[in-house]
Amino acid sequence: MQYFVYKCKFRMKIHEEVLAAVRRLCAARRSWSFTPAEVVHALPHLNERSVRTHVVSRCCVNAPSHHAHRWPYFKRLRRGLYEVMKDYRDSRPRGGSGADIPPTRVAEARAPYDWDPAAARSVIHVAVVESEGQYVADCLEVAVVTQGASLDELLGNLREALDLYMSDEDPVLLGLAPEPRLLISFETTAHAP
């Protein structure tokens, strides 16, 4: 029991790990902007949803306040693009010749963020539920929700919504393959009405 308490006492909190990963990412590329997918890729030992929630909500100053604890680390610039707030940036200057960061540190910081096509997800999971005479589809990997009066209408609306969403986003930055497939799960009651 004491060993467990000792180990947990010195464990870094998830918001601290997210901030540290973002700082490493930004140091490698000499820019204070980043995407949630890059942070998820940099922290494979953490739950993907927890990391995304921290980036887009708990640690974002211009996100709706849904959580009791919030940290003002990031600011959303546009859909899928965030920036580190000035108070949480490292004091080292960025840009220029790169003399502010030793070359070995740049290569070390860049390594986890290189996109690996084999690691990209080739599937977007979609959960479909029936609610009040409508079918509602919720994508798990991307922020797309749509509905339809029938399953056929729902599938058409889902394809259209995903096409619109992906036209503004780079699938690589979302951690997806260039042409991901859909895996649709439908939930319904066991008895007929």
Domain that holds residue 154: 119-187
In a domain, 105, yes or no: yes
Q: 104 and 37, same structural domain?
A: yes
Strands 176-187 and 145-148: unpaired
What is the model's pLDDT at position 108? 38
Per-residue pLDDT tens over the stretch 81-113: 899 999 888 755 344 333 333 333 333 333 344
Q: Domains in the chain: how many in total?
A: 2
Residue 181 is given by DSSP the state E
Judged against a pLDDT cut of 50, whether residue 2 lies above it is answered with no
Helix axes 14-29, 103-110, angle to 10 degrees: 120
Which of 114, 141, 167 delimits the end of a domain? 114
Q: Is 171 inside any structural domain?
A: yes
Residues 83 and 146 in one domain: no
- 45-63 burial by CB neighbour count: b if 16+ within 10 A, else e? ebebebbbbbbbebbbeeb
Q: 3-state DSSP call for residue 186?
A: strand
Answer whether residue 192 is part of any domain. no
pLDDT in tens, 4-61: 333 334 456 888 889 989 998 888 878 889 989 889 888 888 888 888 888 888 888 8
Cα–Cα distance, 100 to 118 (Å, whole number): 33
Indicate whether 80 and 23 sit together in one domain: yes
The answer on 97 and 31 residing in a single domain is: yes
What rounded mean pLDDT belongs to the chain?
Answer: 76
Residue 140 above 50 pLDDT?
Answer: yes
What share of the chain has pLDDT > 70, as a percent?
Answer: 73
Question: Measuring CA to CA, which residue among 57, 24, 29 is closest to residue 39?
Answer: 24
**1 is a domain residue:** no
